[in-house]
Amino acid sequence: MSAHHATTAEPPGSLQGVRIADFSRVLAGPYATMLLADLGAEVVKVERPGAGDETRAWRPPADAAGTSTYFLAVNRNKRSVALDLATDEGRARARTLVAGCDVVVENFRPGTMRKLGLGAEDLLTEHPRLVYCSITGFGPDAGAGLPGYDLLVQAVGGLMSVTGEPGGPPVKAGVALVDVVTGLHASLGILAALRHRDRTGEGQLVEVSLLGSLLSALVNQASGYVAGGVVPGRLGNAHPSIAPYETFETADRPLALAIGNDRQFAALTTLLGRPELADDPRFRTNPDRVAHRLELRAVLEKELRAGTADHWAAVLSAAGVPAGPVNGIDDAFAYAERLGLRAVVDLDGVPQVANPIRLGATPARYRLPPPGLGEHTPEIFHPGEGDST
């Protein structure tokens, strides 16, 4: 894996001139603000003195300097200030910071920022052009008191009910996927609110919840329920509406096949030496294949076991049949590199996963490595004032 070094010769970002006061911690909020920072926004991360963002202590793993790689994942391009919001001085400094910002992002439990005098109602009254983004677990109403942890939302939000093998226990996704999806929704909401603000001069409250974001992200599974009354179950790696669309055993490791239409299925059967399967009444159309999924799987897997996953991936991909081995994360990055995706950048010696958004005129920029706790307090609140409050 190679890292591509960030340069300083890039043009200014699309969001240059947008300043964000980021009171969020852990993942959903910091992921959203990092994406916006990559695109040119100035982000000031507000942290608790002495402890900071909880993910600073979430290790192993850590990099060579002992810094939590979890924290490194979502906090580049930010400056950190340490403010004790339990003190009058800390709250006063926070209000001073907000006064010079376009956006506030927070993910405290509902009501916490209001008690600190930093709630949306107060700040929007004082600063009518402000965009105030509040990220919660379950919304500000009946779910306000519930803790917003990704695992909990995956459980109660239905994701675990459709993840795992048939007849087996429910399984969570291998990453905090709900937090990531929520961060994407938050950044989209902020951008929409900024567009409205720039057009009308009017700021607004943006509210995003983990549960609401997950229900939206369930897409076809959610639509199958709300529009069709179907409550789906666990299918392992299979798809409820497409076949073959799952993983198959080969001579060495699993291979994913993602057959989306009859033409691809015919090409698959020809390459496997079984062209007659495309005309088999059980497999002729996608609904036929879904109805006879287990029979189809047995036939295909028998043929696939004759070669390795890499062999079949190469042969099938060359013929336009979607196929690929189940990679480890190390192989996934190597694969992206071979495809020219430049998935890793080096930011002052800190390897970072690149922003996946490619913009022709205003590309993502990598200006600052993830900050030390309170590293920028003096420069934000005037040199010489110290960084202990």
pLDDT at 6: 56
Closest CA to 137 of 195, 189, 176, 84: 176
Has residue 385 got a pLDDT over 50?
no
- pLDDT number for residue 231: 96
Is the model's pLDDT at 383 over the cut of 90? no
Q: What percent of the chain has pLDDT over 90?
A: 94
pLDDT at 382: 73
The confidence band for 180, taking pLDDT boundaries of 50, 70 and 90, is very high
Q: Give the model confidence (pLDDT) of 136-168 as tens digits.
A: 999 999 999 999 999 999 999 999 999 999 999
d(CA 270, CA 259): 14
Q: What tens digit of pLDDT does each residue of 291-317 get? A: 999 999 999 999 999 999 999 999 999
To the question of pTM greater than 0.85 for the whole model, the response is yes
What integer is the mean pLDDT of 378-386? Answer: 71
CA 268 – CA 317 distance, rounded (Å): 10
**Tokens matching residue 349:** 């010696």
CA separation for the pair 100, 140 (Å, rounded): 27
Q: Which of 102, 150, 179, 387 is catalytic?
A: 179
Known catalytic membership, residue 179:
yes
Over residues 253-279, the mean pLDDT reads 97
- Classified as helix, coil or strand, 252 is coil
Distance (Å, whole) CA 187 – CA 201: 20
Residue 223: count of CB within 10 angstroms of its CB: 11
Q: Any idea what DSSP says for residue 112? A: H
**Domains (ranges, CATH) in the chain?**
4-219+360-380 (3.40.50.10540), 255-325 (3.30.1540.10)
Whole-angstrom distance, CA of residue 8 vs CA of residue 4: 13
Going by DSSP bridges, is the β-strand pair 103-106/131-136 parallel, antiparallel, or unpaired?
A: parallel
* Amino acid, single-letter form, for residue 342: R
pLDDT band with cut points at 50, 70 and 90 for residue 10: low
**How many whole angstroms separate alpha carbon 294 and alpha carbon 167?**
15
Contacts of 36 (CB under 8 A, 6+ apart): 15, 18, 20, 43, 103, 187, 190, 191
Edge-to-edge, what's the strand order for the sheet holding 255-258?
Answer: 245-248, 255-258, 323-325
| Rounded average pLDDT over 187-194 | 98
Of 52, 122, 103, nearest in space to 82 by CA: 52
Q: Which of 362, 355, 378, 372 is CA-nearest to residue 34?
A: 355
Q: How far is 279 from 232, CA to CA, in rounded Å?
A: 30
Can you read off the two tokens belonging to residue 55? 């993910």
| 389 or 219, greater pLDDT | 219
Among 265, 176, 177, which residue's Cα sits nearest to residue 219?
177
pLDDT above 50: residue 388: no
